[in-house]
Structure 1
Amino acid sequence: MSQDCATRYPLVLVPGMLGFIRLVLYPYWYGIIAALRRGGAVVIAVQVSPLNSSEVRGEQLLARIEQILRETGAQKVNLIGHSQGSLTARYAAAQRPDLVASVTSVAGPNHGSELADYLQKHYPADSAKGRLLGVLLRVIGAVMGLLDTGYRGPKLPVDIPASHHSLTTEGVALFNQRYPQGLPDTWGGQGPDEVNGVRYYSWSGTLQPGKTDRGGNLFDGTNRSCRLFAKTFVREAGHCDGMVGRYSSHLGTVIGDDFPMDHFDIVNQSLGLVGKGAQPLRLFVEHAARLKAAGV
């Protein structure tokens, strides 16, 4: 077995909003865990509340990290978060930097999501449309919870308004005031490589005609959703993955912010049906080698 991905500390994968470990037999991190393990990495996918604030999710993650350290004997973990999972990982690292070697944000809304802003404006929680959306999300979350065969812990709390607010520009701005570690000083810049002994990295994608609308995405409904969601973007119009803007994703060392991938392609969804030339598995494998070279 190759040891190219054999990092010093375990890789802990943190899902985004409405995330899961495995729905019956279908994994959130499609093909990614297997690719990393072939390279010798210790990889653990975790579950946190699919619909809640980044802080609540972060506290759940901290409890899970402590359990992983007891089980593996490791001193720290490397956190890799997708979407809201990146904010969740950032919270955990800010609270307990002694337990975290690195945080990697994959398409993370580190300055908020314009899609969340649009929904807040047009589907406010106290409106009929907002309440209907809330019911729909609650039902989806409940069904996914029943189908998640990868999680065996206690029932996780749901707070839809807190979940939504945690992803808006306003909500993330408040979050960033409390937990600024790894953030760039200037819009579109890179953040510090290391803060309080924790290394920070990020990468993200953008919708690109001729690439992200070709290949497997011709058959992937989530790509059509991302193209629809992209119409809500103003500040980063034409520079988003459908849910997160290119520059909003920046954290720490920016490995890349314009890979030809939508918000789901970047974690090899759905069923590995990704756009033309997209190689999400390669990004994760190369990053594990990067972490190994950094000694973490």
Structure 2
Amino acid sequence: MNGKLKITLLCTTLFTGIAFTPSHAAQGIQKATSTVISDNYAETKYPIVFVHGMFGFNRLGSAVFGLDYWYQVLPDLARHKATAFASQISPLESIEVRGEQLLTQVEEVIAITGKPKVNLIGHSHGGPTARYIAGVRPDLVASVSSVAGTNDGSPVADLVQNIPVLNGVLAVVMDAVMTPVINFAQQSNLPSNFQASIYSMSQPGVKKFNAKFPLGMPIAKCTDGPSQANGIAFYSWTGVSNTTNLLDPDTIFTAMGPIAFSGQPNDGLVSKCSSKLGKTIRDDYKWNHFDEVNQVLGLKGFLAPDPVAVYRQHANRLKRQGL
């Protein structure tokens, strides 16, 4: 469903994050660093800003012992001379609220780097959040890349949205417990609105959002959208596997994909069709929703492609496109 490193991931990292005082946590936007530069393979013209999904974060804990949402991705890009940042926005909020938070951080990156634009890469709920920036400030965006984006919603969100009791109970728990835990672990004080987050991924919410922000979206369901729109390049990719590694705890949340999606190809939380935005790089990676950001802790299928390498290759793609 929604960019989630869900309860299992949080349980895996919670003790790590809480073990450190907030002064050791990652606060605000986080720049990728590396003490070793291998080459300039990923050196794009414009900086790359990563946008996490629902229940997301930039880093829980410290740089030494913490856990990054984009596990091992940003340090690898830095080794190949990319200028990359991980955003820190509300784990649970509407696309518009998250988008305004992201806009502030995009402006910060532009001020830091002196570059006029950024390349946005969003996972799950981060996909529509990145699209919001492309809609309200296209002058600041060179490209938007959506990884398993909830661009056409999620049936899981519809299920929660349509059961008032379930929506109400989850909202209380998530807003009162889950977001404060993430806020503590990454030294933030971000607002939380579970119901707004779920609505933005339900069919009514998606329909309303896409009518206002159509850039890059396909005209026909489950097809590519325009690769260029309003001077912005659009790309997307996704996984279509559910159980990829029996040792990986995230399987608990993705194994029921065939039932939840009525047989549609999906990564356990987002369907292949929903992920479509702009030019499809690939829509059949042997990954589940968490493998797409190299979680949990890099566990994936034995023969599945390395997600870290895929992000590196995409940075090179952007570089070759002059972005």
Are 2:271 and 1:233 aligned?
no
1:229 positional shift: 4.9
- After superposition, what is the alpha-carbon deviation per residue over 1:225-280, rounded to whole angstroms, capped at 9, x for unaligned? 1113552223xx24111110001110000001111100000000000011232221
- Describe the SS at the equivalent of 1:218: coil
Q: CA RMSD in A?
A: 1.3
Residue number in structure 1 paired with 2:239: 205
Q: Is the 8 A contact 2:143 2:233 kept in 1?
A: yes
Distance 1:90 1:14 in 2: 11
- After superposition, what is the alpha-carbon deviation per residue over 1:76-95, rounded to whole angstroms, capped at 9, x for unaligned? 00000001001100000111
Are 2:255 and 1:224 aligned?
no
Match of 1:9 among 46, 49, 53: 46
Given the two structures, how large is their TM-score scaled by the length of structure 2? Answer: 0.84
Q: 1:189 to 1:229 in 2, by over 3 A?
A: closer
Q: 1:222 to 1:64 in 2, by over 3 A?
A: same
Residue number in structure 2 paired with 1:81: 122
Which structure 2 residue ranges, 5 or more long, are not aligned?
1-37
Distance 2:241 2:264 in 1: 7
- Describe the SS at the equivalent of 2:142: strand
Q: Is the 8 A contact 1:52 1:163 kept in 2?
A: yes
1:15 positional shift: 0.3
- Describe the SS at the equivalent of 2:246: helix
- Describe the SS at the equivalent of 2:219: coil
Equivalent position amino acid for 1:140 in 2: M
Are 2:107 and 1:60 aligned?
no
Given the two structures, how large is their TM-score scaled by the length of structure 1? Answer: 0.91
Which structure 1 residue ranges, 5 or more long, are not aligned?
none
- Describe the SS at the equivalent of 2:256: helix
Match of 1:148 among 180, 183, 186: 186
- After superposition, what is the alpha-carbon deviation per residue over 1:72-120, rounded to whole angstroms, capped at 9, x for unaligned? 1111000000010011000001111100000000010111111111222
Q: Is the 8 A contact 2:152 2:275 kept in 1?
A: yes
Distance 1:134 1:229 in 2: 23
Are 2:90 and 1:90 aligned?
no
Farther off after superposition, 270-279 or 241-250: 270-279
Match of 1:272 among 279, 290, 298: 298
Residue number in structure 2 paired with 1:166: 200
Q: 1:228 to 1:136 in 2, by over 3 A?
A: farther
Distance 1:71 1:178 in 2: 30
Q: Is the 8 A contact 2:171 2:193 kept in 1?
A: no
Match of 2:59 among 22, 25, 29: 22
Superposed structure 1 runs of 4+ greater than 4 Å apart: none
- Describe the SS at the equivalent of 1:219: coil
Match of 2:319 among 279, 292, 295: 292
- Describe the SS at the equivalent of 1:166: helix
Give aligned pairs, total. Answer: 280
Distance 1:181 1:84 in 2: 16
1:63 positional shift: 1.0
1:144 positional shift: 1.2
Q: Is the 8 A contact 1:51 1:158 kept in 2?
A: yes
- Describe the SS at the equivalent of 1:145: helix
